[in-house]
Amino acid sequence: NAGVMQNPRHLVRRRGQEARLRCSPMKGHSHVYWYRQLPEEGLKFMVYLQKENIIDESGMPKERFSAEFPKEGPSILRIQQVVRGDSAAYFCASSPAGLFNEQFFGPGTRLTVL
């Protein structure tokens, strides 16, 4: 029973480039969440999606960041024109419908912006 999968595990980008982070939820889970963990800080909520819908994006910066969860395929977190402050670990979590508080996390993507 595969867990939440994220790729790539490590991503290096130069300032101004785009970063695309992918997340495949656990089988049977229809809710996807993205969190960001800055060095020496706790995890901060970014966005919550269901298939083809963004439900809550209150934690996501309004500029340069976007997320989607298409009908087919993984959820994508996209960061345009990356800056050094975007360097962080980005985690995806998934939960089954009705059990939002039992979120299972992927291994994360560590983004480094040079």
Residues found near other proteins in the complex (CB under 8 A): 4, 6, 31, 33, 35, 41-45, 48, 55-56, 58-59, 91, 100-108, 110
Q: Min. distance of Cβ 47 from other proteins in angstroms?
A: 9
CB of 16 to other proteins, least distance (A): 27
Q: What does the chain look like in DSSP terms, one character per residue? A: ----EEE-SEEEE-TT--EEEEEEPPTT--EEEEEEE-TTS-EEEEEEEETTEEEE-TTS-SSSEEEE--SSS-EEEEE-S--GGG-EEEEEEEE-TT-TTS-EE---EEEEE-
Nearest to other proteins of 14, 42 (CB atom) = 42
Of the pair 22, 110, the CB lying nearest other proteins is at: 110
CB of 56 to other proteins, least distance (A): 6
C-beta closer to other proteins: residue 86 or 94: 94
Residue 52 per-residue DSSP state: T
